[in-house]
Structure formats: structure tokens, C-alpha cells
Amino acid sequence: MSFPLAKLITSGVLGLNTSGLALYFGLQLFEGASTSPLFDSSSSSNLVSEGKALKKFIDGEKLIIEKINAEISKFIETLKALTTEKTQEYSKIREFFEKVSSTEQELKTFYDSNREILEEIGKLGKYEHDVSAKKLEAEESAKRLEFLKESLKKVSGVMHGWGVSVQELICALENAAENNCRSKANSWFSSNSSGSTSNLTGGGRRQFKSRNRLRSSQKTATRFQRRVRARASKTQKRVLN
């Protein structure tokens, strides 16, 4: 590209100089041989000087053109390097944005997956809370049931002692000769019966009133014992359910 330009400039300069010389020599020939610079020593020396100056000018122009061509070559190489670097940078930037897009998609997928996991963890936490609450409720119910059992046991013990004592007194009042009053009293508590005993025999009016009061106490104890057992049974069923 630079070589034709230099050649064109050189040809133009040479063409102008040649045309100038031809015009100059032609005019001198028309004026006559006496005035022609070809036969004038001073004119010949001037022509030689002008030729040297022209040659020097042409050589200088050649050097300038060579420098210009060298700079143009450097510019072209620099432009090529910049174009290559620009292409590489564009490729790197495009690759970077592709990675960013891919990473963004991966992050979105990761977030969606974690959101489902967090929801599952929340459900598991609620389930664990419910299980723990039910466990605590069951433990509390078991403690209440155990307390009711112990209370019923104590009440039954008191009622047993009361019933046995009353039955022993009734047995002693009805028949002082019998020795198995305690066994009868125990059988009364076991059967939880409130039925009448054998017919009253002897002992007078005061003894009859005492036996009636004892029998009334016996019936009261029996009813109380039954109510306690019924209430305990209902409470136990409610706790277990």
C-alpha cells in the first residue's frame, strides 16, 4: 500500500523537473545559440548546481517517504494488534457474561432448592413441636393418672379401715359369741355390699339404736366408696383419651 504512494510521488516530482528542464531548454533554443545556456559556462554550472539540489531534494523526499512508510507500517501493525486485542477482550467479556448468566441460573436453582428444604424443615419443626407437646401432655396425663391412683389407694385404705371397723362393731353387737367378725368385715369390704345382716337379737333399746347408727354409717361408707370409685374411673378414662 505504501510503495505505490512513494512511487507516485517520485514520478510526479521527476515529471515536473523533466518538464521544467524541457521548457527551459526549448526557450533557450528559440532565442539563439549565442544565448543558449548549453554554450554558456555560467549557465552550465547553474544547471549542475540545480541538478545536485534536485537530486538532494529527491533523496530527501525518498528518506521522508521511507520514514512515512515505516510509520504507516507501524501504524498498521499497531492497528492489527489493537484489533486482535479488542477481539480477545470482547471474547473474554462475552465469556465472563456467559459465566455470570450461568452462575445466576445456578444461584436461582440453589435458592429454589433451599426454599423447598427450608419449607420442609419448617414442617418438620412444627411436627416435632406437636410431637413434643403430645409427649408432654401424655407425660402430664400419666402423672395425673398416677396421682389419682395413689389418691384412690389412700381413700380406699381409709374406707377399708372405716368399713371394717363398722362391720366389726355390728358383728359384735349382733352376736358377741362369734369370733370371725374381722373376716366378715373384710368380706364386706371386698363384696362392697350394702345388704342387710341377720336379724337383730337381744340387747335392749339402746343397743338397737347403736346398731342402727352403725348400719347407717356402713351404708354411707359404702355409697361414698362407690362414688369415689366411679369418679376415679371416669377421670382415668378422660385422661387416657
125-180: pLDDT as tens digits: 888 888 888 888 888 877 877 887 787 777 777 766 766 666 666 666 565 445 55
Alpha helix stretches (DSSP H) within 175-196: 181-191
Is residue 26 scored above 80 in pLDDT?
A: no
189 grid coordinates: 369390704
Are the C-beta atoms of residues 156 and 201 closer than 8 Å to each other?
no
Are the C-beta atoms of residues 163 and 184 closer than 8 Å to each other?
no
Q: What is the pLDDT of residues 54-95, one digit of tens each?
A: 888 888 888 888 888 888 888 898 888 888 888 888 888 888
Return the closest-CA partner of residue 228 out of 154, 162, 165, 168: 154
* Sign of the alpha-carbon torsion through 146, 148, 151, 155: negative
Average pLDDT, the chain: 68
Are the C-beta atoms of residues 62 and 5 closer than 8 Å to each other?
no
